[in-house]
Structure 1
Amino acid sequence: MRARTVLRNIVICLVNDGVNILLLRWMSAVDSLTATLIMKGAVLLTVVYLLHCEGATVVRTDDYPVVNDRPIIGVLSQEQSYYLHTKYPEENYTSYIAASYVKDVEASGARVVPILIGKDRAYYEELMGKINGVLIPGGATYFNQSDGYADAGQHIYEIAQQLNDAGDYFPIFGTCLGFELLIILASGRGYPENRITCYSYSNIPLDFTDDYKSSKMFKEAPEDITEMLGKENVTVNAHQFCIVDENLISYNLTDDWRVTSHSLDDYGVKFIASVEHTRYPFYGVQFHPEKSSFEWKLSKNYPHSINAVKSNRYFMDFFVKECRKSLHQFESQAEENQYVIYNYEPHFTGVLGSAYHQCYLFEPRGTST
């Protein structure tokens, strides 16, 4: 569609050029009144020419982005946990997505397509050509399992780099384990992994860097939101690994990844809490913005105050706004309907003792019962 529009505008520009040349030649053979009228018409044609020629090149800027009002975001699944497997021993579920991530995306005005693990490169390339961004969620899986979460994440990371290098805006957001995966992929996967062990299972504030307000993630953040995030215990942390400044320094990542905040774990270790790529629209947070609104296990003590909900909503609202800059789309409504999360039913896993209130469960080929 965009190519047809560009071609049409180029043709209009060429036609207007020809008309203007003919007018100039004709003016020498007519009286002054007629010439004046013709000149006014030529000026009008010139304005039309300029307007159409400006439209012949699609340019995206930060101030005037192209906006997609029907964004669809892919959420990466991960290996089925041993605990959930024991609760569904007869089913062939091999991967899952916590429903809180799906709800978080939907609450910000986007729809979700599940991204399955264990697929070949072509699967991820095709799907990423139809969706507008990818959320890599947190969880509890390893990065060394074949055809799993990390392998799929690597495909997604590399394809997104290629798209952005070609001028095709494509954002990624990593939460907790997803954030750690982004940094490890940037470091080069291998042993030892570029992260450290730490222990953070508390609700804590963010310690913003001095220049955080000039970052892409926070430059438009309302003051009341950053005030809550910086002074109240509203960010949910649930991780036994983390990324520290030394991880970026030792792998020469400080030019590519910008730290915007830190937090302290339960033993005082200072870890990176939020980060963004300096060239690509890639973002990561070590905490869980989705849990304040959508996870309810009492023993976890997640903050559900108005301030906790309001401040954590900012992150997915920001990411979905980024995804609106992508113009990818499915070929038809029928094709779109085949991919969206509505084809699957969430299971009430919280009643079975899971930390996740609800989960989407997938079989190897993405089927579900």
Structure 2
Amino acid sequence: MLEENDVSAKRPVGQQDLSAERSLGHKTCRSNDHMHLQGCTVFLMINLGIVRMNQVPEKPAIGILAVDIGSKEASFGNSTITASYVYMLLSAGARVVPLPLSLNITAHKKLFGQINGLFVPGGFVTPLKSKVLRVFYNYVRWAVAANQQGDYFPIWGTCLGFELLLLSFSNRTVLEKCNVQNELLILTPTKYFMFNRMFRGASSHLLEAMHREPLAPNFHQWCATEETFRLNGLDNVFSTLTLSHSDKKKFTFISTIEHKRFPFYGIAWHPEKNVYEQHSSLNLSLSNAAIEMAHYLARFFVKEAQRSKHSFSSPSQYYQNSIFNYCPQFTGQLGYKYEQAYFFQ
């Protein structure tokens, strides 16, 4: 794994100053003029009479690691989180804490001790060339050490996050170019599926549907196969739960994994897009099973995070780091295929 990195910290785009008075406020958050993006309104419900300052909310706080900005969004900031991941976790009862790449290593380490789990979303960058890979390596080291000492800390990776998780436990040859884009595929169970943790609480009709119905949207350039898993020794580290096959590419790849020892989970597909994205060009599913799957997986990871004993020292510490200090930008109106995104300097 790589060594710890230190990047100078800056205030992210749209962040509110929470050092001001803590009364029930109505704050207007507007995007930079050069973005030509619509502003949004943020309601800060932090009145002392609404939340007692000596009582930390019990909902788990999940950190979402921001990823490298794409070339088209370079003028918006240095890192980003697509809003659908935020909504997916909020809908399952989590609190969300963004983790911008601009934070230095000390800040990331402090937040690791405060959040109850790490969520790594998809992105539009090459994994081995990304800044997020170096930051993610640190979180994996901390999480492995914590779990070895009985300090439960789960990690979830979707798409790019799935790829970064594999790279953290292997060498650079585990991923191969496949370019499976905008395909809705079936999740075919492997022989390890019956022993998995991820789908243990799923309903019987959801399990039946996921194996016969194409409900997994795929948008990724890189894939891992059972052969590359064996060659890199990853079959001793992760259990492969499902495979997916692209008829267009005539290619079968690993689509769902979980670590054999630690609470680390990865999926190459995008359940959140079925619920929260709306672009007409996206090949998505609105079936009952597809929607249920998104909510089930979100709830599964939130329940995993509830097992973590990490915490913020006070409500004010959480409020200073909450996603509600930031405005999602309406990227859909600019022609992007995701409706909203958060940008960070």
Same fold (TM over 0.5): yes
- Within the candidate set 198, 201, 219, 1:220 is matched to 201
Residue of 95, 99, 109 corresponding to 2:93 = 109
1: CA distance between counterparts of 2:205 and 2:107?
42
> Identity of aligned pairs, percent?
35
RMSD: 1.5
Counterpart of 2:266 in structure 1 is: 284
Shift of 1:254: 1.3
SS of the residue aligned with 2:291? Answer: helix
Alignment partner of 2:186 out of 196, 202, 205: 205
The residue that corresponds to 1:4 in the other structure is none
Deviations 1:13-34 (A, max 9, x none): xxxxxxxxxxxxxxxxxxxxxx
How far apart, CA to CA, are the structure 2 residues paired with 1:216 and 1:103? 24
* Structure 1, unaligned runs of 5 or more: 1-67, 364-369
Tell me, in whole angstroms, the C-alpha distance in 2 between the residues paired with 1:234 and 1:202.
Answer: 10
Does 2:118 match 1:139?
no
* Structure 1 match to 2:66: 77
Q: Mark the structure with the bigger radius of gyration.
A: 1
Asked if residue 341 in structure 1 is aligned to residue 330 in structure 2, the reply is no
Q: Give runs of aligned pairs for residues 18-33 of structure 1, distance below 5 A.
A: none
Query: Where has structure 1 moved over 4 Å in runs of 4 or more?
Result: none
Q: Which runs of 5+ in 2 are unaligned?
A: 1-56
CA deviation map 1:174-221 (0-9, x unaligned): 001110110011004xxx442011132311110001341221112222
Deviation at 1:307, TM superposition (A): 2.5
Match of 1:323 among 300, 305, 310: 305
Which is helix-richer, 1 or 2?
A: 1
Question: Which one is further off, 122-131 or 301-310?
Answer: 301-310
| Cα distance in 1 for residues equivalent to 2:314 and 2:200 | 36
Aligned to 2:339, which of 348, 357, 360?
A: 357
Looking at structure 2, the residues matched to 259 and 307 of structure 1 have their Cα atoms a distance apart, in angstroms, of: 22
Which residue does the alignment assign to 1:31? none
Contact 2:119–2:157 (Cα < 8 Å) also in 1: yes
- 2: distance between equivalents of 1:324 and 1:204? 31
Which structure 2 residues correspond to residues 249-268 of structure 1 after superposition, within 5 A?
A: 249-265=230-246, 266-268=248-250
TM-score, length basis structure 2: 0.80
Equivalence for 1:161: 144
Deviation at 1:155, TM superposition (A): 1.0
SS at match of 1:290: helix
Task: Name the SS for the 1:237 alignment partner.
Answer: strand
Give the Cα–Cα distance (whole angstroms) in 2 for the partners of residues 69 and 305 of structure 1. Answer: 33
Which residue, out of 213, 217, 242, partners 1:236? Answer: 217
Q: What do the CA deviations read for 1:283-309 (whole angstroms, capped 9, x no partner)?
A: 000100110111111111321232211
The one-letter code matched in structure 2 to 1:349 is: T
The TM-score, its normalising length taken from structure 1, stands at: 0.75
May I ask how many residue pairs the two structures share in their alignment?
287
Q: Which amino acid aligns with 1:78?
A: V
Which amino acid is 2:177 matched to? T
Of the two structures, which has the highest relative contact order with CA contacts closer than 8 Å and spacing of 6 or more? 2
Residues 349/303 of structure 1: CA separation in 2 closer, same or farther (3 Å cut): same
Letter in 1 for 2:96: V
Match of 2:282 among 297, 300, 312: 300
* Residues 262, 273 of structure 1: 8 Å contact kept: yes
Shift of 1:69: 4.0
In the alignment, the residues of structure 1 paired with residue 245 and residue 215 of structure 2 have an alpha-carbon distance, to the nearest angstrom, of 14
Residue 97 of structure 1 corresponds to which residue in structure 2? 81
1:237 to 1:129, Cα distance in 2 relative to 1, 3 A: same
How far is 1:358 from its partner? 0.2
Q: Secondary structure at the match of 1:284?
A: strand
Q: Which amino acid aligns with 2:332?
A: G
AA matched with 2:265: Y
Task: Assess if the C-alpha contact under 8 Å between 2:158 and 2:268 holds in 1.
Answer: yes
Which one of the candidate residues 169, 173, 176 is aligned to 1:186?
Answer: 169
SS of 1:202 mapped into structure 2: strand
How far 1:227 moved relative to its partner? Answer: 1.2
Question: Residue type of the partner of 1:173?
Answer: W
| Structure with more of its chain in strand, by fraction | 2
| DSSP-derived class of the 1:158 partner | helix
Instruction: Work out the CA distance in 1 between the residues paired with 2:86 and 2:103.
Output: 21
